[in-house]
Amino acid sequence: MIWLCRYEMGDFSEQKNRLRKSGINNVYYLVEEGGMADTERIMEMRKSIETSISMVITVSNLFLHRFRRTDDTIDWLLTMSNILKEKYSQKRLIVIKPRTIHSQEEYLHMLQEFREKFDNKEQAYECVHMLPVYQATLAKSNMRTVKEMFILMLMSVKGISLEKAVVIQSHFGTPKKLIDYYSIENRSLSESEKGLLISKLFQSQIGSKKINKAASIALYESWGKL
């Protein structure tokens, strides 16, 4: 699978999580550097981008390819397409087409079970799935976990980015616990004090994870008055 995403939109973390659940064995992360050096926004994010690129190899176990020009990227894609075509034209495929899948975890478990039974060097088989099944299972609008739904709900609040939402979700776990934090654990506080609870709770966070007062108040307006 070829993976391209926009780091500044938070796609990097989100897509890594989705790819982990996909069960895909070989993922190539392509970085096209042409024209990037002249972009002021890119220069500001250079350190974060370099760190993320390093994580692709060391933490995420993905294959990384960096290109200078768009033409180089196209040439690589063409070459890879021909290699895959030649490889799979000689291979017998076991296509997994489940009638019902209730969760991403169930889908991944099913795929792993089939691979353990059929997908090995002694047999000329490979377990695969149809594109519609893959799309339905990993689509952003389908089969989301409570964690993913909670993060998306938090991100709908003004000032709460993906990084901030992940910090909040990791601490509270579920929407109910966040609501209870306002309405039960801190019910004796005034409205203004409740508005600053989240910024004080995560005041040790740094960089993009730090939650300022405005975002904290906006979060209280959305979640603390339910």
Q: State the distance between the two ends of the chain, measured CA to CA, in whole angstroms.
A: 43
Give tens-digit pLDDT for 26-44: 788 787 766 555 555 556 6
27: phi > 0 → left, psi -120 to 50 → alpha, else beta; which? Answer: beta
Per the prediction, the chain carries an average pLDDT of 78
Least confident of 2-6, 74-78, 175-179: 2-6
Claim to verify: residue 95 and residue 150 sit in the same structural domain: no
Confidence class of residue 9 from pLDDT cuts 50, 70 and 90? very low
Claim to verify: residue 159 and residue 200 sit in the same structural domain: yes
Claim to verify: residue 122 and residue 183 sit in the same structural domain: no
Give tens-digit pLDDT for 114-141: 777 776 666 667 777 777 766 666 654 5
CA distance linking residue 80 with residue 114, whole number of Å? 26
- Domain limits at 102? 90-139
Q: Enumerate the H helices of 64-212 as residue ranges.
A: 70-88, 104-118, 131-138, 146-155, 162-172, 175-180, 191-195, 197-201
Q: Is the dihedral of CA 55, 57, 62, 64 positive or negative?
A: positive
- Count of structural domains within the chain: 3
Confidence class of residue 86 from pLDDT cuts 50, 70 and 90? confident
Give the pTM.
0.47
Claim to verify: residue 23 and residue 59 sit in the same structural domain: yes
Q: Is 45 exposed, middle or buried (0-12, 13-18, 19+ CB in 10 A)?
A: middle
Cα–Cα separations (whole angstroms), residue 152 to 26, 130, 140: 28, 28, 10
Claim to verify: residue 84 and residue 3 sit in the same structural domain: yes
